[in-house]
């Protein structure tokens, strides 16, 4: 696996290659190549003119025809590209075939995303998750890494070549590293689970901000909570979930969590490695799904986000669509686009975290989302109804509680709608 972050001094220019399958059209692939160029830009690698090629069926050395692969390799050499990036998954053998043909490193989109995550990881959990994903990706690609040594000495049935022995040694070391990383990550996840349980002892509603990377999720959390979460105009600026407590009208409290952004063709290894991070979306009571309304790839970003939520098992959650970056669109030129979105998502909220547009509308929706199937009621309980006081504490969330001199208990509590009738005689 090429270490793009360590090789930054020599990897300056790359040729992106899109592969068109029978199920896709060239325009869709060009959109994906534009996003790949943005991903490469986050590693300070400039994208040269992209190449398109048709997918070849069956067992193929390059995924595409030999002749087209030779043309792309020749073009990369002519442009003095340092790198070729295939916008598709490559098998280890296909990757080696490409590198032998091109005479330079050839990687997939998956490796690009892994390197960006590695560059962004800050906390212990994120570093462990990235290291695990990279090790799992590298393991099947060890074969052939030391073949230049295999002929340096003869080998019989009991005497393997030096290259083969080195591969086996590296494989054992890498498997051992995967075991260690998995164990360490499990420890960190248990610590996160303990913190989460402590947070859930009070049944405060939980919300998660999800969406495509760079859609403005962290900016939204800042705008709603006054937090100081890192905000940068780059992909995957933050990898670790950040939770902030909000106080809403009607004595409702809410914990809102910012999660890692999604991207098309997110490597499955990363979905698995980041499951403990992304499970904030699974465990939340509702989701704020943030989309960049100004993005030319809005439809694809919507589908990608839903796809990741499906993989996590969170697509059935209560979802509030939030279209951000209204400050970046032309209301007249984009009138048709906005009308279409209003028709498709009648309950969506349109905001700008830069200008503040729509934030009050979103804040007015949050109490309903947080309450879910609960109602906030004010009670006036006599001393004889200590059973109802106990029920309020056990099954609801108590926001206020005070005793009058005569022993009457005044409470403000959120309880499920099906329990409200039990308190009906004592509601104020």
User: Are residue 150 and residue 228 in the same domain, yes or no?
Assistant: no
DSSP 8-state code for residue 376: E
pTM (two decimals): 0.67
- Whether residues 236 and 340 share a domain: the answer is yes
In this structure, the answer to whether residues 224 and 360 fall within a common structural domain is yes
> Does any domain span residue 230?
yes
Dist CA 17 CA 48 (whole Å): 10
Same-domain status, 159 and 69:
no
In a domain, 286, yes or no: yes
Looking at the structure of the chain, the number of domains it has is 4
Check whether residue 290 and residue 353 sit in a common domain: yes
In CATH, what number is assigned to the domain containing residue 61? 3.40.50.11060
DSSP state of 331: T
pLDDT over 50 (residue 298): yes
Q: Mind listing the pLDDT tens digit for each residue in 255-294?
A: 888 877 777 777 666 666 666 667 666 778 889 999 999 9
Q: Is the dihedral of CA 45, 51, 54, 57 positive or negative?
A: negative
Whether residue 420 sits in one domain with residue 314: no
Task: Give 238's pLDDT tier (boundaries 50, 70, 90).
Answer: low
Residues 68-112: tens digit of each pLDDT: 999 999 999 999 999 999 998 888 889 999 999 999 999 998 888
Q: What is the pLDDT of residue 4?
A: 54
Tell me the DSSP string of 123-147. Answer: SHHHHHHHHHHHHHHHGGG-TTTTG
**Residue 141 structural domain:** 122-189
Note whether 235 and 367 are same-domain residues: yes
The domain that contains 261 carries what CATH number? 3.40.50.300
Are residues 158 and 108 in contact, defined by beta-carbon separation less than 8 angstroms?
no
User: Both 86 and 219 in a single domain?
Assistant: no
Residue 64 lies in a domain: yes
Overall average pLDDT of the 114-129 stretch: 80
**Statement to judge: residues 341 and 416 lie in one domain:** no
In a domain, 361, yes or no: yes
In whole numbers, what is the pLDDT of the chain averaged over residues? 80
Strand partners, 242: 258
Phi-psi region of 216 (alpha: psi -120 to 50; beta: other; left: phi over 0): left
pLDDT number for residue 362: 93
1-10, 332-341, 377-386: the lowest-pLDDT one: 1-10
**Is residue 2 in some structural domain?**
no
Cα 222 to Cα 353: distance, rounded to the nearest angstrom? 9
d(C-alpha 167, C-alpha 147), whole Å: 9
Check whether residue 329 and residue 227 sit in a common domain: yes
- C-alpha radius of gyration, the chain, whole number: 27
Q: Which helix (H) or strand (E) holds 18?
A: strand 13-20
Last residue of some domain: 137, 162, 189? 189
């Amino acid at each position: 696996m090429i270490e793009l972050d360590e090789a930054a001094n020599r990897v300056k220019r790359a040729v992106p290659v899109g592969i068109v399958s029978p199920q896709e059209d060239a325009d869709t692939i060009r959109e994906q190549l534009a996003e790949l160029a943005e991903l490469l830009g986050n590693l300070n690698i400039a994208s040269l003119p992209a190449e398109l090629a048709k997918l070849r069926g069956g067992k193929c050395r390059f995924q595409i025809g030999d002749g087209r692969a030779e043309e792309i390799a020749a073009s990369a050499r002519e442009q003095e590209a340092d790198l070729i990036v295939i916008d598709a998954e490559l098998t280890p053998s296909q990757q080696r075939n490409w590198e032998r043909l091109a005479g330079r490193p050839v990687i997939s989109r998956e490796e690009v995303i892994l390197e960006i995550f590695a560059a962004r990881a800050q906390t212990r959990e994120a570093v462990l998750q990235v290291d695990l994903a990279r090790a799992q990706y590298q393991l099947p690609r060890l074969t052939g890494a030391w073949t230049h040594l295999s002929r340096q000495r003869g080998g019989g049935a009991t005497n393997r070549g030096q290259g083969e022995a080195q591969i086996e040694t590296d494989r054992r070391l890498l498997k051992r590293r995967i075991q260690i990383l998995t164990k360490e990550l499990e420890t960190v996840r248990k610590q996160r689970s303990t913190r989460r349980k402590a947070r859930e002892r009070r049944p405060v509603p939980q919300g998660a901000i999800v969406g495509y990377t760079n859609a403005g999720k962290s900016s939204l959390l800042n705008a709603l909570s006054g937090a100081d979460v890192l905000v940068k105009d780059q992909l995957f600026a933050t990898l670790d979930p950040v939770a902030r407590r909000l106080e809403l009208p009607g004595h409702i409290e809410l914990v809102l969590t910012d999660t890692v952004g999604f991207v098309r063709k997110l490597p499955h290894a990363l979905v698995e490695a980041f499951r403990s991070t992304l499970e904030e979306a699974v465990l939340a009571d509702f989701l704020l799904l943030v989309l960049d309304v100004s993005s030319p790839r809005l439809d694809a970003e919507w589908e990608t986000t839903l796809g990741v939520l499906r993989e996590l098992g969170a697509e059935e959650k209560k979802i509030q669509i939030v279209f951000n970056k209204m400050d970046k669109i032309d209301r007249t030129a984009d009138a048709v686009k906005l009308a279409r979105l209003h028709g498709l998502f009648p309950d969506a909220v349109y905001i700008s975290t830069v200008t503040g547009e729509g934030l009050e509308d979103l804040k007015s929706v949050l109490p309903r989302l947080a309450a879910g199937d609960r109602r906030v009621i004010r009670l006036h309980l006599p001393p004889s109804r200590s059973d109802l006081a106990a029920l309020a504490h056990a099954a609801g969330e108590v926001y206020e509680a005070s005793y009058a001199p005569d022993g009457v208990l005044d409470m403000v509590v959120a309880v499920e709608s099906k329990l409200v009738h039990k308190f009906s005689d004592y509601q104020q």
